[in-house]
């Protein structure tokens, strides 16, 4: 099969008419014959391409892209990004262990975010020598100081300030308003920095902000960073030098069909950041997650049967809400495409899984080409918050994961077995 050209927004495509769906240069049909279904498939080439978009757009600024591990924590993906100079944004001790397992040399490029860090997690991160802690409360700053002194290690920190900037997104993933659990009121931050400046075990290294996820406009990012930079200049007047600004993540993608230009979106984002931080000469940290991996991934599932209930047609597949919970949790939209399309008129159907919940659905009242039992379909844009949020509900094993790079595909996580699920339990 000759190398196919395809838009950078999604790597899943039909190279030629009458040819089944491919990821890059690898057939999804062939992958399911090798690894079964449900199956997560990721494009390494697109993940690398998306990382490079940020590097290109910010080429004139000292910056570090810290991938948000929570989006997809597969060790192979972490290693792929680490090998290309990425840092990592973590929100738990478990995510730190994943980074250390995949790329121990990347510890110095890790920022530790999260509203509820434990003492044990702080100790481990201090011992690992991470870049910085994004501190979310005065109590956490005191805990960090205590444990840094105990271990005799200087803790670099940034206060995660809450700029009270509204970002139009799902309420579950909006984080920049005062009523949210995240961050410190930006009006209180200066006093906390002043208090920490006299502690020999604390280094006020940066200021951090994160206003939410799946944000489609660059304007809220610019507004938030404008307020952050005012704080940085206020601190400088008090003799507190800030060496980095962490702009967080949250840049959104287009989950619907249609052409999009992700590189243009990154350039627009970078322009808003540059404008807000004009004159700042320290390091800029970014924490993209979804934007790097979401459209690089798909969940491939097989149709078990097609069922008619009154006026409703249900396409029942072997994947379920435990494999991809976003539609049930957020009412999120994922494009659904047949791996091998059939001729015929579209029909309105619900695509559902076998879990014993009415909320176990991937699409409701969706117009799709004809589908029959045994067909394969792909749920697109599933590379972020898919496998990362998967569970074993209904005692279902989680899917296998495959990473495609050029003409090669390799298994990066085997399918779980029932023995795996039962192993921790005691009769």
Class of domain 12-43+295-422: mainly beta
Mean pLDDT of 19-25: 94
Burial of 63 (0-12, 13-18, 19+ CB in 10 A): buried
Which residue, 246, 245, 249, 253, is CA-closest to 287? 249
Residue 61 CA to residue 263 CA, distance in Å, equals 17
Catalytic site includes residue 356:
yes
pLDDT at residue 59 tops 60: yes
State which fold the 44-290 domain adopts: TIM Barrel (3.20.20)
pLDDT digits (tens, 9 = 90+) for 283-294: 999 999 999 999
Residue 2 has pLDDT above 70, yes or no: no
**Which SS3 state, helix, strand or coil, does residue 423 take?**
coil
pLDDT at 181: 54
pLDDT given for residue 174 in this prediction? 42
In the predicted structure, residue 71 carries a pLDDT above the cut 70: yes
Is residue 404 helix, strand or coil? strand
Least confident interval from 146-150, 185-189, 322-326: 185-189
Q: Which residues pair with 159 in a beta bridge?
A: 135, 207
Q: How confident is the model at residue 47 (pLDDT cuts 50, 70, 90)?
A: very high
Average pLDDT over residues 89-95: 98
Regarding beta strands 202-208 and 110-112, do their DSSP bridges make them parallel or antiparallel, or are they unpaired? unpaired
Residue 26 bridge partners (DSSP) = 23
Spatial separation of the C-alpha atoms in residues 177 and 172, rounded to whole Å: 12
Q: Which of 41-45, 78-82, 217-221 has the lowest mean pLDDT?
A: 217-221
pLDDT of residue 166: 54
- 381 pLDDT exceeds 70? yes
Q: How far is CA 172 from CA 92, 129, 175, 331, in A?
A: 19, 32, 8, 11
Flag whether pLDDT at 336 surpasses 50: yes
What are 150-185's pLDDT values in tens digits? 999 999 999 999 887 755 443 443 444 445 556 899
Q: What's the rounded Cα separation, in Å, for the pair 103 and 105?
A: 5
Rounded mean pLDDT, 25-44: 98
Catalytic residue among 278, 356, 419, 427: 356
3-class SS of residue 62: coil
Whether 348 contacts 365, CB under 8 Å: yes
Domain boundaries of the chain, sorted by first residue: 12-43+295-422, 44-290
pLDDT at 37: 98
Instruction: Look over the chain and give the mean of its residue pLDDT values, rounded to a whole number.
Output: 93
Please list, in sequence order, all residues whose beta carbon lies within 8 angstroms of the beta carbon of residue 203, skipping any fewer than 6 positions away: 154, 155, 156, 157
pLDDT at 1: 37
Task: Look at residue 341 and tell me whether its pLDDT is greater than 90.
Answer: yes
Mean pLDDT value across residues 179-204: 88
pTM: 0.93
| Residue 92, helix vs strand vs coil | coil
What's the full length of the chain, in residues?
427
Give the helix ranges, DSSP H, for 65-185.
75-82, 93-102, 119-128, 138-151
């Amino acid at each position: 099969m000759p190398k196919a050209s395809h838009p950078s927004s999604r790597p899943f495509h039909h190279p030629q008419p009458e040819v089944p769906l491919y990821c890059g240069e690898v057939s999804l049909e062939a992958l399911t014959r090798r690894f079964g279904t449900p199956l997560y498939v990721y494009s390494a080439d697109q993940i690398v391409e998306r990382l490079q978009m940020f590097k290109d757009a910010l080429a004139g600024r000292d910056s570090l892209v810290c991938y948000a591990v929570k989006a997809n924590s597969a060790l192979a993906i972490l290693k792929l990004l680490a090998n290309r100079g990425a840092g990592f944004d973590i929100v738990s001790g478990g995510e730190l262990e994943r980074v250390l397992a995949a790329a121990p040399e990347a510890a110095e490029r890790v920022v530790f975010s999260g509203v509820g860090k434990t003492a044990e997690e702080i100790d481990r991160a201090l011992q690992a020598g991470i870049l910085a802690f994004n501190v979310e409360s005065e109590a956490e700053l005191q805990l960090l100081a205590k444990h840094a002194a105990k271990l005799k290690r200087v803790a670099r920190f940034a206060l995660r300030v809450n700029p009270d900037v509204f970002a139009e997104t799902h309420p579950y993933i909006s984080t920049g308003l005062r009523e949210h659990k995240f961050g410190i009121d930006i009006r209180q931050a200066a006093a906390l920095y002043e208090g920490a400046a006299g502690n020999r075990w604390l280094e006020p290294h940066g200021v951090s902000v994160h206003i939410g996820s799946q944000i489609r406009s660059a304007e809220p990012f610019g507004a938030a960073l404008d307020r952050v930079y005012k704080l940085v200049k206020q601190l400088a007047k008090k003799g507190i030098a800030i060496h980095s600004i962490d702009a967080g993540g949250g840049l959104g993608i287009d989950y619907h069909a249609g052409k999009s230009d992700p590189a243009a979106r990154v350039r627009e984002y970078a322009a808003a950041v540059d404008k807000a931080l004009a004159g700042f000469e320290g390091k800029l940290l970014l924490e993209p997650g979804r934007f790097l991996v979401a459209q690089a991934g798909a969940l491939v599932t097989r149709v078990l049967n097609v069922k008619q209930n009154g006026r409703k047609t249900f396409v029942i597949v072997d994947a379920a809400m435990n494999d991809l919970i976003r539609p049930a949790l957020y009412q999120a939209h994922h494009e659904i495409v047949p791996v091998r399309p059939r001729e015929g008129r579209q029909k309105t159907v619900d695509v559902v899984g076998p879990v014993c919940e009415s909320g176990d659905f991937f699409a409701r009242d969706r117009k799709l080409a004809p589908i029959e039992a045994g067909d394969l379909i792909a749920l697109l844009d599933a590379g972020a918050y898919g496998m990362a949020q998967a569970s074993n509900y209904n005692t279902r094993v989680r899917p296998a994961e495959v990473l495609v790079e050029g003409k090669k595909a390799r298994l990066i996580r085997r399918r779980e077995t029932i023995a795996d699920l039962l192993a921790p339990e005691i009769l």
